[in-house]
Structure 1
């Protein structure tokens, strides 16, 4: 739900609420997927880091959290949710897409997952003899295809990682978060996750809270909450429950 969400909100504005209105209602709305761990889930025992962070943010604001479940980003304009988490910070985008981003709270990106013991240490190590799993239509797919690196197309990161674990591909271009959660969920069948490659700027990005056309008071309150939750270690602790170690934003 990154850049696609930005475009949708620009094209189809939905009602926005001020901080005072949110406080008066006693609840803040968060758009999230009902079955997309580690991000979010309707399952209370393992709600996902978006739901846990959303609850922590809501508590900082003095309200409760109300999840609004969406399966695809196209549904978001028809919701009344106030927040979307894990939004990509695109510094090249025009400044007003109808929503604002908070201060970034971690850095993510597409990296390579490889079998344990692999000699591949970065994207530049890939060759014509290396078959790489990629998501259809992704930037990674385009860049590797331009380099004539053999690619195998998958629908999701999870499918790629399963194929990698089954030795069907030699590497997988996946997000760092998804790969870390895969290792957490499959401790006996994990993969090696390479560091984010800052020499590939199209494949790394900062992540922030998206706020639907907030007033200044809401934006300031969310920024203060994010900064406090980062500084206290709360955000790191939430993600750690899903086996994820966060990278600091740039």
Structure 2
């Protein structure tokens, strides 16, 4: 019985944490962001924290509070934190009910990168190549179909690009944001990119910062801060330090991931598991409350 009770308590502790509205953030004196420490140039550790981390720092200054960071490696982990903002998020056309977005900050395209001078590459040319891909992605399965050697063990896109340049990999699927940063940091890098259309995989989307548990009024305040940063040049200066440019969709409130590449909620196995656990925790709480009466 003690083991069962301990399990139920653990489940209840996994219930999603609530973020604060702007009044709560100001009263607490801190703005909390969720970020991945291996997601440069978006976020990371070291002298250069990433362009979205720098943007979050400027937002905190505008609010008159300090910035705190909770490091996570997957988006779903934010459910169990107190973070107010989530970095490195695509503007999804079907966001969760508790999410709103800052304006589109950068435009992302998923690309296939090779070493050496630019040249034509056909899908069949990859059949005997070692290619880094996101695990269980469509590109992963496409490469397996033709007998290629897909690798999924790299912890960051920068690590993939380094492996391509060194010859450890023949190619890799990464974001245009990562390649732009890599070239900016290493001007002599002999890399070229092709669209993932050759894999019959197309992905492009606006990248932004997600606002958790924010109402329309607070969302408007966040947007006003970002617009002020754009107008005084701070946004562009931050982005330029990482080889990025401001999204052409910044002023478009409807900028979203195209519907044809937006993954339906129903195919997210991890999301289904989390929701089942939360439902079980809720039912167990109700049973415990009933038994305590």
Normalised by the length of structure 1, the TM-score is 0.77
Q: How far apart are 1:139 and its partner, in Å?
A: 3.2
- Work out the CA distance in 1 between the residues paired with 2:169 and 2:44: 29
The structure 2 residue matched to 1:22, chosen from 21, 25, 38, is 25
- Work out the CA distance in 1 between the residues paired with 2:41 and 2:90: 17
Aligned residues: 231
Question: What SS class does the counterpart of residue 228 from structure 2 fall into?
Answer: helix
**Kept after mapping to 2: 8 A contact 1:27/1:65:** yes
Question: What SS class does the counterpart of residue 173 from structure 1 fall into?
Answer: strand
Q: How far apart are 1:80 and its partner, in Å?
A: 0.7
Please give the residue correspondences for 1:30-41 in structure 2 after superposition, counting only pairs within 5 Å: 30-41=33-44
Deviations 1:173-221 (A, max 9, x none): 1111112222233334341245797xx7841111222111112222111
Determine which structure has the larger helix proportion and give its number. Answer: 2
Query: For residue 133 of structure 2, what is the aligned residue in structure 1?
Result: 134
**Kept after mapping to 2: 8 A contact 1:108/1:247:** no
Q: How far apart are 1:83 and its partner, in Å?
A: 0.3
- Work out the CA distance in 1 between the residues paired with 2:57 and 2:186: 27
**Kept after mapping to 2: 8 A contact 1:39/1:49:** yes
Please give the residue correspondences for 1:211-250 in structure 2 after superposition, counting only pairs within 5 Å: 211-249=211-249
- Work out the CA distance in 1 between the residues paired with 2:208 and 2:42: 14
RMSD, matched Cα: 3.0
- Work out the CA distance in 2 between the residues paired with 1:19 and 1:83: 11
Distance 1:23 1:217, change over 3 A: farther
Distance 1:226 1:154, change over 3 A: same
Question: Structure 1: any 5+ residue segments left out of the alignment?
Answer: 1-10
Please give the residue correspondences for 1:1-250 in structure 2 after superposition, counting only pairs within 5 Å: 12-43=15-46, 45-91=47-93, 93=94, 95-120=95-120, 125-130=121-126, 131=129, 132-145=131-144, 148=146, 150-156=148-154, 157-194=157-194, 202-249=202-249
- Which 10-residue stretch deviates more, 216-225 or 126-135? 126-135
- Work out the CA distance in 2 between the residues paired with 1:179 and 1:54: 22
Question: What SS class does the counterpart of residue 125 from structure 2 fall into?
Answer: coil
- Work out the CA distance in 2 between the residues paired with 1:71 and 1:145: 26
Query: For residue 5 of structure 1, what is the aligned residue in structure 2?
Result: none
Normalised by the length of structure 2, the TM-score is 0.67
- Work out the CA distance in 2 between the residues paired with 1:128 and 1:142: 14
Q: How far apart are 1:247 and its partner, in Å?
A: 4.4
